[in-house]
């Protein structure tokens, strides 16, 4: 049996990782600088103090970046045989920002593999981000493709 036809278990359902991080003002400004997203929602205190939020909020795309971090952590914590495949992201579905994330909020990202289809070589994982009050602030579904190597 050669490596292209060898049956391997790439992903196990139920595997999970999580990490926590306090979102800082520098996180928001560095992200704004990298992406060019200088919306006043994120960088203008005076503008946001008159909003119903009362203060600046983190970029939703920054939260998606934290979701990507969790995906990478999953791959590192539970490596498959990387001589046979390379995991690549196919994207995030059903991304929702439930509540705002403010400067100095501590978020926890939890990433759980829900399903693996060996035929399509895809894993489907659920992601949930909570704040320090255990409130859900964002959710998504992540799809990874386990691409066979040469």
Any idea which residue has 């998606």 for tokens?
64
CA 35, CA 29: separation in Å to the nearest integer? 10
Helix (H, G, I), strand (E, B) or coil at 85: strand
Chain segment 6-21, per-residue pLDDT in tens: 444 667 889 999 999 9
Chain segment 121-147, per-residue pLDDT in tens: 999 999 999 999 999 999 999 999 989
Contact 113, 125 (CB under 8 A): yes
Cα angle 127, 121, 97 (rounded to 5 degrees) comes to 20
Q: What are the structural domains of the chain?
A: 16-148 (3.10.129.10)
The number of angstroms, rounded, from the C-alpha of 27 to the middle of its chain's C-alpha atoms is: 16
Confidence of residue 4 (pLDDT cuts 50, 70, 90): very low
Shortest CA distance to 106 belongs to which of 68, 150, 58? 58
């Amino acid at each position: 049996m050669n490596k292209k036809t060898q049956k391997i278990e790439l992903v196990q359902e139920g595997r999970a990782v999580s990490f926590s991080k306090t979102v800082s003002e520098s996180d928001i400004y560095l992200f704004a600088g990298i992406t060019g997203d200088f919306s006043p929602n994120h960088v203008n205190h005076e503008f946001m103090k008159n909003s119903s939020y009362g203060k600046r909020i983190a970029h939703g795309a920054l939260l998606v970046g934290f979701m990507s971090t969790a995906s990478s952590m999953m791959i590192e914590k539970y490596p498959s045989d990387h001589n046979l495949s390379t995991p690549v992201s196919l994207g995030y579905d059903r991304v929702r920002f439930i509540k705002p994330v403010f400067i100095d909020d501590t978020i926890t990202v939890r990433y759980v593999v829900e399903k693996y289809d060996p035929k399509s070589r895809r894993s489907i994982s659920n992601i949930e981000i909570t704040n320090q009050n255990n409130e859900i602030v964002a959710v998504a579904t992540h799809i990874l493709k386990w691409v066979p190597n040469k």
